[in-house]
Amino acid sequence: MFTLTTRARRRSRRRAAAHARAWLPLSLMAHAALSAAASPAPDTPVPTAQADSAAPSSSNDATLAPVVVTAQAGSRASPLDPNLPASVNTVTADQFQYWNVTTPEDVLKYAPNMAVRKRFIGDPNATIAVRGTSNSQTARGLVYADGLLLSNFLGNTWTFAPRWSMVFADDIERTDVIYGPYSALYPGNSIGATIAITTRMPTQFEADAKVQGFTQHFDLFGVNRNFNGTNTTATVGDRIGKLSFLIGVDHLENTGQPLQFATLAQSKTPATAADTPVTGATFYNDQFNARTAVLGTSSEGITRTFQDQVRVKLAYDLTNTLQAGFTLGYWHQKYNSDTQTFLRDAAGNPVYSGRVNIGGFEYVIPAATFAPSMGSSENFLYGVSLRTHNDTGWNAEAIASYFDITQSIARTASSGVPGDGPGTLTDGSGSGWKSLDLRTSWTPTARSGLAAHALSFGYHYDNYFLDNVTSNTSAWRDGAGVSFANSFGGRTRTQALYAQDAWRFLPRWAFTYGVRYENWNAYDGTRAVGSTALGYQDASQSHWSPKASLSFDVTQDLTLRASVGRAYRFPTVGELFQGQINGISIVNNNPNLKPEDDLSKELTAEWVRGNGLYRFTLFQDDVKNTIFSQINTTVIPNVTNFQNIDKVRSRGVEFAYEGQDVLLRGLDLIANAAYTQSKILANSGNPASVGKYFYRIPLWRANVAATYHTPGNTATTLAVRYSGRQYNTLTNTDVNPNTYGGTSTYAVVDAKFTWKPTKRTELGVGVDNLFDKRYYVFHPYAGRTFYLEGRIGI
């Protein structure tokens, strides 16, 4: 339980943060200086989507991520400047330790105007949606952990979600959500938001172990059973002289509820004597309100996942102002997606394919309808850094990283018939990315006066490479490829230069402005199907992205800010060159895609009042050439096509409040609500979509989370998450959204009780989706899930 002193200190920091908005935003290098100085000396997972990354660094170490910092009264330097020229929401370990958190993305579950598409615990395809960016536009979100990029820009859809698995949730000190592309330090992928995760680093010897168990009962379409899992984490760290380290291991295993069902539209064709009579099918109305038969589970059925993770973080002070760092991250996953048919013939035998008689009508079931799948992935992240950390004046930083997907194998059967029969084997081993960042900045002193400027300059390089080969195999579970099926591959390279200045030109006025120049190249694009091979022409584009933000301190507690920024989000390797054909999916690439061109605007008022911080924001994004991929799941194999949408406009309003000791001592409250109207204004490729709401952007989002700290070192949390009407098609023809295949309106309740017998021990019991709401993001989300956890440390 927080003491009164702790709560008072938090209120002081919050007030100081709001007051600091009057000061110049310092550059990333200022963050490096101050934070280091504060130191004591799938939907089915596919091979290209299994990459993961980690960022072993410290909140006390200088971090790489393009974020800025300002010192706050009465505290060490914050890892993020609250004065950044954009709206920022921060979640700290002091808050989310009282929530049901198993994996890092859970700390974002109550963030304003944001949703995490996490279908089950251990889901490697947990994507984020924010403002006018849907949960399928993964290349529009930057996720950093201590400066290393966790976003997987090999593609731009669900299977390229951020690689959350390379961070331990218990190691997170704070997570900052930075809305919009308003800083020159960020690439165009910040159109949606940038998430900066800061993890802790020990200052003395420590060792921790935590065990979680979780279970849910799920009942839908004939599947009625419990699904269980566990997560175990252990870390050890210390600071010995100039060397600090943190080493951790994590093991997660879980069985998720069935995610996908085999369905066929209700037939109007009378059955014949040649059709096999079967029983076991059930019927429901799909998202288009069409009567649909459910035949069993398919593709992503009941997924059993095993994940192992190792993280090593090292930092060494070469001098008082120069620090070297090393990062090693490892993540391994195995999964099995089992399927089943509900259909039985007159003798009680399961039926997997062919012409069948259901209720007197004929249905034709393709052979791949109930095809199971399995796979494994092994990934390494290597990073080295060198940085200075002067309090003021010049600082410099260099960091290089390499993400290596050493193994990425996905196996899919050709049919649902049990056994090790024919299928496909997809190998994405050898894909990955590498990056280099060089930065320098000037931090003014406190005596610099109104003419002071905080300057930032930088260079960025990244290179993404993707190689996938699919082979036919006679034994899909463990057989080698016997013949070539298809392949695709390609490379992208981006180089960028940026400069930014933060200038206080009057006592109450501050102006932050900058520009980013980016040169993007796509090359070595290839695709082969059978004996036909195709090579794509190289592509190259260069763009300037100007940014500006003006802030005015109306009073000591109230700040107004106007921000505007242009950003270009370039196509990914997968969007340009990926082409995949297997038993369950076909992906059609588009090498002629144009980059997304966004002009973003934001007006914000921030007010410190009493024990709370209020934020009110108006925003608008006008995006030309939105890159979008939509999957047609009504056919087997599923088909995905990439396209440019001429113009999409998203505008809305956000309200957010965060306070401590609200109404009574010990009650902490988070409350936020957002209205977003995202519409297609022009779309030459699909004129019927013009004037319609964009894909999966709800009109309303709202969250409330209240934590009451009671005597005896206990705390109780009660929270509500709400998401309003949204559409699953560009033409808004899904009139029945709250069903399997649709995207639901939902309100779910979470709760947790936490007891800390000592400072280093903890017991907790919680529940998510308390009232067992059945809601969908095409797939069904998890039902009522119970948690039991315990932690001990020394």
Say how far apart CA 258 and CA 256 lie, in whole Å: 6
Dihedral angle, C-alpha 188, 189, 191, 192, nearest 10 ° = -170
Please provide the average confidence, as pLDDT, over all residues in the chain.
Answer: 87
Q: How confident is the model at residue 631 (pLDDT cuts 50, 70, 90)?
A: low
pLDDT of residue 632: 57
CB-based contact 239:266 (threshold 8 Å): no
Please state the domain extents for the chain: 4-793
| DSSP assignment of 192-237 | SEEEEEEE---SS-EEEEEEEEEEEEEEETTEEEEEEEEEEEEEEE
Q: How confident is the model at residue 641 (pLDDT cuts 50, 70, 90)?
A: confident
pLDDT of residue 377: 95
Q: Which of 30-34, 576-580, 715-719 has the lowest mean pLDDT?
A: 30-34
pLDDT of residue 634: 54
CA angle 106, 770, 700 (to 5 degrees): 65
pLDDT (tens digit per residue) in 205-232: 999 999 999 999 999 998 999 999 999 9
pLDDT of residue 449: 65
Say how far apart CA 265 and CA 258 lie, in whole Å: 20
pLDDT of residue 643: 87
Q: How confident is the model at residue 40 (pLDDT cuts 50, 70, 90)?
A: very low
pLDDT (tens digit per residue) in 701-734: 999 999 999 988 999 999 999 999 999 999 999 9
Beta carbons within 10 angstroms of residue 290's beta carbon: 14
Where is 379: in which H helix or E strand? strand 373-388
Among 515, 496, 384, 439, residue whose Cα is nearest residue 29: 439
pLDDT of residue 531: 82
Q: How confident is the model at residue 587 (pLDDT cuts 50, 70, 90)?
A: low
| DSSP assignment of 296-329 | EEEEEEEEEEEEEEEEEEEEEESSSSEEEEEEEE
More confident residue, 759 or 741: 741
pLDDT of residue 27: 35
Distances (CA, A) of 585 to 252, 286, 580: 28, 21, 7
pLDDT of residue 584: 55
pLDDT (tens digit per residue) in 459-516: 999 999 999 999 999 999 999 999 999 899 999 999 999 999 999 888 899 999 999 9
More confident residue, 585 or 767: 767
Q: Which of 17-26, 281-290, 665-674 has the lowest mean pLDDT?
A: 17-26
Average pLDDT over residues 276-298: 96
pLDDT of residue 581: 56
More confident residue, 646 or 29: 646
Residue 74 pLDDT more than 80? Answer: no
Q: What is the percent of the chain with per-residue pLDDT over 70, rounded to a whole number? A: 86
Distance of CA 642 to the CA centre of its chain: 21
Q: How confident is the model at residue 49 (pLDDT cuts 50, 70, 90)?
A: very low
Residue 38 pLDDT more than 60? Answer: no
Q: How confident is the model at residue 272 (pLDDT cuts 50, 70, 90)?
A: very high
Cis peptide before 637 (omega within 30 of 0): yes
Q: How confident is the model at residue 571 (pLDDT cuts 50, 70, 90)?
A: very high
Distances (CA, A) of 416 to 347, 356, 369, 582: 19, 16, 7, 14
Return the sign of the alpha-carbon dihedral for residues 762, 53, 82, 706. negative
Residue 441 pLDDT more than 60? Answer: yes
pLDDT of residue 13: 44
Among 433, 534, 424, residue whose Cα is nearest residue 488: 534
Residues 6+ apart with CB under 8 A from 3: none
pLDDT of residue 639: 67
Residue 117 pLDDT more than 90? Answer: yes
Question: What number of CA atoms fall less than 13 Å from residue 597's CA on the CB side?
Answer: 12
Residue 65 pLDDT more than 70? Answer: no
Q: What is the largest CA-CA distance in the chain?
A: 93
pLDDT of residue 386: 93
pLDDT of residue 711: 84
More confident residue, 26 or 115: 115
pLDDT of residue 450: 64
3.30.460.20, 2.40.170.20, 3.40.50.1100, 2.40.30.10: CATH of 4-793:
2.40.170.20
Write out 638-670 in H/E/C secondary structure. Answer: EEEEEEEEEEEEEEEEEEEEEECCCCCCCEEEE
pLDDT of residue 184: 94
Q: How confident is the model at residue 580 (pLDDT cuts 50, 70, 90)?
A: low
The pTM is what? 0.88
pLDDT of residue 610: 86
Average pLDDT over residues 616-626: 97
